Amino acid sequence: MKKTMAVITLSFLAFACSDETQVIKQSINNIKDEMVSMQSEMAEMKISIEDVDRKTEANKESINANSNALAEIRSEMSFLGSEVTLLKDKQKAPAAAAGMTEMSESGAQAENGENLIIIEDAFTDKSSLYSYAYELYKNGKYPESQAKFNEFLAKYPADELSDNAVYWLGEIQYALKDYEGAIKLFHRLVTDYPDGNKVSDGLLKMAYSYGNVGKKAESVVTLKKIVNEHPGTRAYNLAKKKLASMGE
């Protein structure tokens, strides 16, 4: 009887252990399945995050490109606005001086009863000459504009607008694709008028001209000169962009 009970007890324990083992195995399998599922979800999340990062980076590049384009446009508008303002100021000043001359001459005539000779204001003449040359350039009449700018420089080599005149002569050569001629004129601008307001723009077009005749080394040196010596200018932004496109 005792032997029978012992056998029954052992059989029961074996059965119980077998059931418990099955439960544990099933639990382990369930955990494995959950881990596989979690790993799959994490992989999908990683792919999604990487996709978001790529899109974010692309948006940043697009925003930066648009910002640079807007900055260049604003710089160009500011540059043209300064040019127009300078011309207007040059034209207003002689007009005011002429008015004062007429008033003083009228007073003299009233006192003496004599007619006075009015001498043409040379300042008005040079302002008109420069304006005419510039208008010819804007309208694409390069030979005529070139002749008038050269006439201006022959008459007024040390005027405040002389450096501008040399610059536009260089632009004319550049437009005509005479890049060697443009280089000479822009070099003349930088050498003869180192403190002029056209130096940075002249250096930029000089660099472009060097590039157009296959002189990459000279172009790079000139562009780096702009970056180092003319920060904050329109030419500075364009020079950095050009250097980047050249891998420098």
Residue type at 204 in one-letter notation: L
Q: What is the pLDDT of residue 133?
A: 95
How far apart are alpha carbons 113 and 157 in whole angstroms?
41
Q: What does the pLDDT look like over 138-191, one tens digit per residue?
A: 999 999 999 999 999 999 999 999 999 999 999 999 999 999 999 999 999 999
Query: Which pairs with CB-CB distance under 8 Å and at least 24 residues apart come from 65-70?
Result: 68/237, 68/241
DSSP secondary structure of 116-176: PPPPPPHHHHHHHHHHHHHHHHHTT-HHHHHHHHHHHHHH-TTSTTHHHHHHHHHHHHHHT
Q: What is the pLDDT of residue 47?
A: 72
* Domains of the chain by residue range: 121-248
Residues of the chain with pLDDT under 70: 1-27, 29-30, 32-34, 36-37, 40, 43-44, 48, 50-124
User: In sequence order, what E strands does the chain have?
Assistant: none
Q: What is the pLDDT of residue 88?
A: 57
Give yes or no for a contact between 84 and 76, defined as CB atoms under 8 angstroms apart.
no
How far apart are alpha carbons 221 and 207 in whole angstroms?
8
CATH of domain 121-248: 1.25.40.10
Give yes or no for a contact between 77 and 232, defined as CB atoms under 8 angstroms apart.
no
Q: Which residues does 46 contact at the CB level (< 8 Å), separation at least 6?
A: none
Q: What is the pLDDT of residue 248?
A: 82
**Smallest Cα–Cα separation from 125: which of 99, 162, 95, 147?**
95
**Smallest Cα–Cα separation from 167: which of 153, 224, 214?**
153
Q: Which residues does 177 contact at the CB level (< 8 Å), separation at least 6?
A: 212
How far apart are alpha carbons 149 and 95 in whole angstroms?
22
User: What letter does residue 195 receive in the DSSP assignment?
Assistant: T
Q: What is the pLDDT of residue 112?
A: 46
Q: What is the pLDDT of residue 199?
A: 97
